[in-house]
Amino acid sequence: MAQDPKDSAGFTIPAPADSAASASVSASATSVSAATETTALTTISADTSSRDLLIGGGILLVLFIAFFFAKNAYANTLVVKRVPPNKANAAGWWLFIFLAGLSTGVVLAAVNAAKFMAPLIMGPIAVVSLLALVLSFTAGRK
C-alpha cells in the first residue's frame, strides 16, 4: 500500500534547488559549529576567575597557620627525644616547607587543573616538597 502524495496533509520539506550548494552550506555550518565548540571549551578550561583564586588563597592561609602549629609540635617532640633544639627547629621548618608545598600543589590543581597541572609548575613544587621531606627527617636525627 503506497501512500498517494496528495493524501498526506502533514508538513513536507521542499527538495533542495541545487544539491551541491546545499552540501557546501551544510559543511560550512558544521565547521563553524565545531570551531565555536572548541573555542568555548578552551576558554572555559583555561579561565580562572579571581573568586576561585581568592578562595584557594584563603584555604592556603588557613592551612599554613595549621602547619605552623604542627611545625612547633614536631620540634617540641624532637626536643623531648633529646635532639638539640636548633636541629629540632630546623627539622620543624623543613616539615613546614614540605606541607606547604604539598598543599600548594593540591590547591592549585583544585583551582584550575588545566592551567596549573603543567610540569613546569608542578615539577618544581614536587621537587622542593620531596627535598624538604628528606631534609626534615635527616635534620631531626640526634
Q: Which residue has the higher pLDDT, 133 or 28?
A: 133
For residue 64, which of 110, 104, 11 has the smallest C-alpha distance? 104
Q: pLDDT tens digit string along 14-49?
A: 777 765 555 555 555 555 555 555 554 555 555 567
Q: How far is CA 118 from the centre of its chain?
A: 9
In order, the DSSP letters of 67-86 are: HHHHHHHHHHHHHHTT--HH
Q: What is the pTM of this model?
A: 0.64
- Compute the Cα dihedral for 122, 51, 67, 107 and give only its sign: negative
Q: How far is CA 26 from the centre of its chain?
A: 38
Q: How much of the chain, in percent, has pLDDT values that exceed 70?
A: 72
Res 130 pLDDT > 80: yes
